[in-house]
Amino acid sequence: MELDSVYRIYRPLLLSIAYRMLGSVTNAEDLVQDAFETVQQQDLHKDGGHVRNLKAYLCKIVTNRCLDYLKSTRKKREVYVGPWLPEPLVQDYSVVPGSATAAGQDPLQTIVLEDTISYAFLILLDRLTPIERAVFILREAFEYDYRDIADFVNKTELGCRKIYSRLKRKIQDEPPAELISCAQSEQLVLRFLHATATGDMDGLFAMLSEDIVLYSDGGGKVMAAIKPITSSQRVLAFIQGLVSKDDGAGAVRLVKVNGQLGFVLSSPSEPFPTVVSLAFKDDRIQRIYLIRNPDKLLHVNLG
């Protein structure tokens, strides 16, 4: 098979794996490109024939590139200013995920949008070790068998089974925020925006879960809360501060954030916009994610 064909066929899959592993479109693109350059320099006709399973071969290369990257950047993450949030996948609200073909599309268009790429799920993955993340993603999102996973991550098949089983139980005990329908999320997001726009703080407070947490990622490059904000009272006070600072001069645009409805905030008082993702539980807001680091908005159409 010609390399151009290999690139066209397998690039979407490899980007999907790398993005879930890294939480960054930019880094996922770089590692996938590096993987194809590695393949280009190698002889794919080993032992007088083709690589036995080219798809598995490429997935193993990308998985190991991701593991190496996560290990090498561990110390950098430890000194990151404030909460670290994944780079969001943002699409126009009118776009149906997966409706466009990969050819000629923006990189994020080639990444499958489903429950295992929701923003809340990526947050959960970030709490795992690199090996745990690889095993869980390959099994849960891509349904690889344990023999392939073991080969990808250089572990025993039994070891991979144990890792996945342990993580599955843990996630069942501490599930991420629930996925809801587009119609339901639209209703809740619009209620939230209406309450903030009209100053209905009582109505807004009623939407907040008791265990709500607000995360704001500025990466030390723009103003953002350095620590997560907990409790409905503190979150409400924080939102009130943002509303009063903006004084109604900002603009809101509904978008899809990792397949779920969110929005982009633009304000004349801020040099960069903010991508907002909400996570719900029992029709209340359980998590608010404010992605403000401009380095994480490079792939976002902010117009």
Q: Which domains does the chain have, with CATH numbers?
A: 3-79+119-173 (1.20.140.160), 182-297 (3.10.450.50)
The pLDDT tens digits of the residues spanning 50-108 come to 556 888 999 999 999 999 999 999 888 889 999 999 999 998 886 444 433 334 445 55
pLDDT of residue 142: 92
The pLDDT tens digits of the residues spanning 98-149 come to 433 334 445 555 565 555 678 988 998 999 999 999 999 999 999 999 999 9
43 against 103, higher pLDDT: 43
Question: Which one, of 15, 21, 31, 27, lies nearest residue 131 by Cα?
Answer: 21
The pLDDT tens digits of the residues spanning 188-246 come to 999 999 999 999 999 999 999 999 999 999 999 998 999 999 999 999 999 998 888 77
pLDDT of residue 101: 38
Type of residue found at 285:
I
